[in-house]
């Protein structure tokens, strides 16, 4: 887990020195900009060279077939894939007729940096053409967090050592050629290769617009651009348009020291229902507003938005500057994923790449929304309202499966099930409870009972109905839920998965309580006292398996009786296991892809004693291989709770550095939003000890030796609670509001405005280290933090020189 050589360590920004052709796609993901509606991968302004081009609009996808060697009832017939929409990032530069291309000539210097307080991607480079002309290029790019449809670029070129004739070609390009293509199904490749059908194109003066429609999903997409151009007195501008391409060309001659500056405003809009004129006019109106605001205005709006965000949402660490950088990187990208999603899904990769086909999973509700609930609750409201819009499809799916209520899809963009593998998809019913849990948490944290009445209640009711019809009372009166898949994807179609059963219990109770709070609305949904009593009965009788001989909870019925995977005989190159062994072999062995029973102990800690948590954690540590990026953050939380603080520190760093260090080897396809959010959870719920199962927040803070301080803030019912943890004590400060009640190490605490409360930070008793599968131990953070500190010191020394 050594730091990337071309990323420097800085607490507030990511900087790339030089250009590494072998890792361009990874850098394009790391520096991606988004607002939850528009996503721009960090491709170079000139378009080439590139790793993986990408411009995405949240909710814009194409349908593709799902082929089966042998079909079955209820199998989805098609899937949905995010598509690369019209690319407006491109600004090509020609220097005396030679294209500015980093692969030719001499690159004297090249630096890019993303500052989390500005929300802008900056670039500076100096290049000498093959003919010997030197130019200096500077650019800054943003995707607006305040004007949802807008992105913009400021691009300037300066002559350095002699007069040069320069041409800037600012472009909109649809159906651009992508490297490679979908593997395995040529029909899918053909569908996604050129998914946009031209409907309209226009260019005049400095403005251009393209309108397209997807072939099969029928989504209309419009993209527009407009420009402000400054330079020498003599400038020539030409506008061109064709069906898949618009270009505004600017030509001039620059003397040494002279600059040509171009500000490019881009706007995007889409709809599955509105007419071509309506979508086109929306884009042109957004362009007009952006041009009125101007580049400086957009930059100021972005900075103001982020200043307010960081004042209430920063996570501050003392003692590990690389982890500080990584967690702010994580918070920034989680913000970008959800800020303006506005009744659309938050995909597993955000809008940073095409990984997972752009699908949203349970990751959103289980990992991302818990973070956004306490820093950007409006985004959670919007994400859950999107789930509510998909209820008709979820009811249809439930009926198809012979169940009541609603069955939400395992993976989707619009709301239909897109998983062609039912043991990992359809059988993972726990997603219904994950959504219900997110609803209940949001309402508890915000007091937004209007949302609960209008949206949340129906989500709770329909998921509760699903559980009541999926499970059954056995002869002993226990409520059992059988034939399901829990979070661990190396086990499938099991009986009484502990995580699933406990989350279903929470779901059933929450639905019954919400129905009591909103009797009229519940009655309109057909809920009566008999139905709520049935939910309560099922919750009270929920079966949770326990292995008395081993003194641990089996992940599901019989799991602890399975043969243990041969970890000693599994070489490192055979991980991840799913790429080298059949699922048949994985499903019948004790091997865990990602935290499952351990996750249950995090989200339902009230269902386990402290002794059970310690025994369970030790048992599952030796079985968990972390072939999923979702695992380390959860293991960090429970490691901290059971007193394994150094191990918790290791796992926290793994979650936070998943993409910056490309630990999974697939950052090129986009960032891992759940792991990024999980890094925040690891710090706040792990070392902060936050549990939010009830009406009052509960903290049990503790710190590993490698960290000196951890500070964070939580927005709770329009109040802002600040938490500052050191080895000497934990201070709670009400930064906004009058009074808040919480628990510290189980004791009730009242915090009033102007009266911070400081209490001891618990030092848990020393624990025997837990063993992991051979070769799957996390990197030791103490050593890595030392390397990072040395690297930072070296950079500071060089800067001083």
The catalytic residues are: 489
Is residue 89 within 8 A of residue 389, CB to CB? The reply is no
CA angle 760, 764, 769 (to 5 degrees): 155
Is residue 636 within 8 A of residue 655, CB to CB? The reply is yes
Q: What is the C-alpha to C-alpha distance for residues 132 and 105, in angstroms, rounded to an integer?
A: 8
Q: Is 613 annotated as a binding residue?
A: no
Per-residue HEC secondary structure of 99-133 comes to ECCCCCCEEEEEEEEEECCCCEEEEEEEEECCCCC
Tokens of 792: 């930072």
Query: Of 635, 575, 626, which Cα lies nearest the Cα of 599?
Result: 635
Element (H, E) at 639: helix 631-641
DSSP string, 706-774: T-SEEEEEEEETTEEEEEEEETTEEEEEEEESSEEEEEETTEEEEEETTB-EEEPPP-PPP-PPPP-ST
Is residue 286 within 8 A of residue 267, CB to CB? The reply is yes
The 8-class DSSP code of residue 4 comes to P
Q: Is 295 annotated as a binding residue?
A: no
For the sheet with 739-744, list strands across it.
697-699, 739-744, 747-752
Q: What is the C-alpha to C-alpha distance for residues 338 and 772, in angstroms, rounded to an integer?
A: 35
Query: Of 427, 461, 552, which Cα lies nearest the Cα of 498?
Result: 552
Strands (E), 525-652: 563-564, 589-590
Q: Is 386 annotated as a binding residue?
A: no
Which residues are within 8 A (CB) of 389 and not within 5 positions of it... i.e. 6 or more apart?
A: 343, 415
End-to-end Cα separation, the chain, in angstroms: 29
Beta bridge pairs of residue 94: 99, 167
- Count of other CB atoms within 10 angstroms of residue 544: 16
Beta bridge pairs of residue 732: 723, 757
Is residue 740 within 8 A of residue 753, CB to CB? The reply is no
Is residue 596 within 8 A of residue 497, CB to CB? The reply is yes
Q: What is the C-alpha to C-alpha distance for residues 332 and 302, in angstroms, rounded to an integer?
A: 13
DSSP SS3 for 164: strand
Which residues are within 8 A (CB) of 393 and not within 5 positions of it... i.e. 6 or more apart?
A: 409, 414, 415, 416
Which residues are within 8 A (CB) of 585 and not within 5 positions of it... i.e. 6 or more apart?
A: none
The rounded Cα 318 to chain-centroid distance in angstroms is 25
Q: What are the phi and psi torsion angles at 588 (to 5°)?
A: -105, 15
Q: What is the Cα gyration radius of the chain?
A: 27
Residue with tokens 């005396």: 96
For the sheet with 729-736, list strands across it.
316-318, 709-716, 719-726, 729-736, 757-759
Q: Is 258 annotated as a binding residue?
A: no
Annotated binding-site members: 362-363, 593-594
Annotated binding-site members for substrate: 362-363, 593-594
């Amino acid at each position: 887990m050594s730091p990337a050589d071309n990323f420097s360590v800085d607490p507030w920004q990511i900087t790339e020195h030089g250009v590494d052709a072998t890792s361009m796609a990874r850098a394009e993901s790391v520096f991606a900009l988004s607002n939850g509606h528009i996503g721009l991968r960090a491709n170079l302004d000139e378009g080439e060279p590139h790793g993986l081009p990408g411009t995405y609009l949240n909710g814009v996808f194409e349908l593709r077939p799902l082929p089966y060697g042998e079909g079955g009832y209820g199998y989805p017939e098609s899937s949905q894939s995010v598509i690369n929409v019209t690319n407006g990032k491109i600004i090509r530069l020609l220097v005396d007729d030679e294209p500015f291309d980093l692969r030719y000539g001499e690159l004297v210097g090249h630096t890019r940096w993303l500052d989390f307080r500005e929300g802008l991607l900056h670039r500076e480079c100096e290049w000498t053409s093959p003919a010997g002309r030197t130019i200096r290029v500077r650019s800054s790019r943003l995707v607006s967090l305040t004007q949802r449809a807008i992105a913009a670029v400021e691009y300037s070129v300066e002559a350095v050592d002699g007069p040069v004739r320069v041409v800037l070609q600012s472009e909109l390009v649809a159906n651009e050629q992508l490297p490679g293509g979908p593997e395995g199904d040529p029909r899918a490749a053909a569908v996604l290769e050129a998914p946009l059908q031209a409907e309209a194109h226009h260019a005049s003066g400095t403005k251009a617009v393209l309108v397209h429609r997807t072939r099969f999903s029928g989504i209309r997409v419009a993209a527009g651009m407009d420009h402000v151009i400054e330079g020498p007195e003599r400038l020539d501008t030409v506008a061109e348009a064709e069906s898949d391409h618009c270009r505004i060309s600017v030509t001039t001659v620059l003397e040494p020291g002279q600059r040509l500056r171009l500000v490019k405003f881009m706007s995007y809009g889409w709809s599955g229902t509105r007419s071509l004129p309506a979508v086109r006019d929306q884009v042109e109106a957004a362009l007009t507003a952006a041009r009125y605001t101007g580049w400086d205005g957009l930059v100021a709006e972005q900075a103001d938005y982020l200043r307010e965000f960081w004042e209430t949402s920063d996570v501050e660490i003392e003692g590990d500057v690389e982890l500080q950088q990584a967690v702010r990187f994580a918070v920034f990208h989680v913000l970008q994923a959800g800020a303006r999603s506005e009744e659309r899904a938050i995909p597993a990769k955000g809008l940073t790449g095409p990984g997972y086909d752009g699908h949203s999973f349970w990751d959103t509700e289980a990992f991302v929304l818990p973070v956004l609930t306490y820093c950007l609750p409006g985004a959670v409201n919007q994400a859950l309202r999107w789930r509510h819009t998909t209820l008709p499809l979820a009811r249809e799916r439930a009926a198809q499966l012979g169940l009541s209520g609603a069955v939400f899809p395992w993976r989707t963009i619009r709301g239909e099930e897109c998983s062609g593998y039912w043991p990992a998809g359809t059988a993972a019913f726990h997603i219904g409870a994950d959504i219900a849990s997110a609803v209940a948490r949001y309402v508890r944290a915000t007091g937004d009972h209007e949302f609960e009445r209008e949206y949340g209640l129906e989500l709770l009711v329909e998921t509760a109905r699903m559980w009541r019809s999926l499970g059954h009372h056995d002869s002993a009166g226990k409520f059992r839920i059988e034939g399901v898949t829990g979070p661990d994807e190396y086990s499938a179609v099991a009986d009484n998965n502990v995580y699933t059963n406990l989350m279903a219990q929470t779901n059933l109770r929450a639905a019954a309580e919400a129905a009591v709070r909103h009797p009229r609305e519940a009655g309109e949904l057909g809920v009566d006292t008999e139905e709520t009593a049935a939910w309560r009965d099922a919750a009270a009788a929920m079966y949770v398996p326990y292995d008395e001989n081993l003194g641990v909870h089996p992940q599901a019925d019989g799991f602890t009786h399975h043969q243990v995977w041969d970890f000693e005989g599994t070489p490192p190159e055979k991980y991840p296991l799913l790429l080298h062994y059949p699922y048949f072999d994985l499903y019948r062995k004790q091997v865990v892809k990602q935290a499952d029973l351990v996750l249950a102990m995090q989200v339902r800690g009230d269902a386990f004693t402290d002794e059970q948590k310690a025994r369970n954690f030790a048992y599952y540590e030796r079985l968990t291989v972390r072939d999923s990026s979702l695992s380390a953050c959860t293991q960090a939380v429970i490691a901290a709770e059971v007193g394994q603080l150094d191990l918790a520190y290791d796992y926290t760093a793994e979650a936070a550095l998943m993409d910056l260090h490309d630990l999974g080897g697939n950052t090129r396809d986009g960032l891992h939003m759940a792991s990024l959010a999980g890094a925040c959870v690891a710090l706040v719920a792990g070392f902060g000890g936050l549990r939010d199962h009830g009406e009052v927040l509960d903290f049990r803070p503790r710190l590993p030796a490698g960290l000196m301080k951890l500070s964070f803030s939580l927005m709770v019912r329009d109040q802002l609670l600040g938490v500052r943890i050191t080895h000497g004590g934990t201070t709670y400060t009400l930064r906004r509001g009058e009074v808040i009640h919480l628990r510290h190490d189980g004791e009730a605490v009242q915090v009033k405005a102007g009266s911070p409360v400081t209490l001891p930070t618990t030092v848990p008793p020393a624990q025997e280290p837990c063993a992991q599968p051979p070769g799957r131990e996390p990197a030791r953070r103490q050593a890595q933090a030392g390397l990072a500190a040395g690297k930072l010191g070296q950079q500071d020394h060089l800067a001083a020189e």
